Amino acid sequence: DGGITQSPKYLFRKEGQNVTLSCEQNLNHDAMYWYRQDPGQGLRLIYYSQIVNDFQKGDIAEGYSVSREKKESFPLTVTSAQKNPTAFYLCASSITGTPGELFFGEGSRLTVL
């Protein structure tokens, strides 16, 4: 079945460590997104990519980095510069030309100890 796979589902890290969240899709979608979700805050856009080898910052990109070397993969690195990284992270994809029709993964919950 086609879809988006995020891993790991749960992740714990110590302060000062970088951590990378994986996002893989087999939907053949051009666009991919990373959102952060905090209780009562809705979803906020971290980074997005419309095409391979190109990506743009979203509203809260500070302390995060991404790469888009392959169409199906869009990993997110949470760096030690992110001051409050504990959150639920959601990856999504869409077909170019259908803005807003996002397909979401099941999310990764990161907890900083």
Partner 1 sequence: AQSVTQPDIHITVSEGASLELRCNYSYGATPYLFWYVQSPGQGLQLLLKYFSGDTLVQGIKGFEAEFKRSQSSFNLRKPSVHWSDAAEYFCAVVTYSGGGADGLTFGKGTHLIIQP
List contacts with partner 1 (CB under 8 A).
4, 33, 35, 40-45, 48, 50, 56, 58, 90, 92, 99-107, 109
Strand 108-112 and strand 10-13: pairing?
parallel
CB 16, min distance to partner 1, A:
27
Q: How far apart are CA 60 and CA 72, in angstroms?
A: 23
Q: Is the dihedral of CA 58, 8, 63, 74 positive or negative?
A: negative
Beta bridge partners of 92: 33, 104
Q: How far apart are CA 14 and CA 80, in angstroms?
A: 10
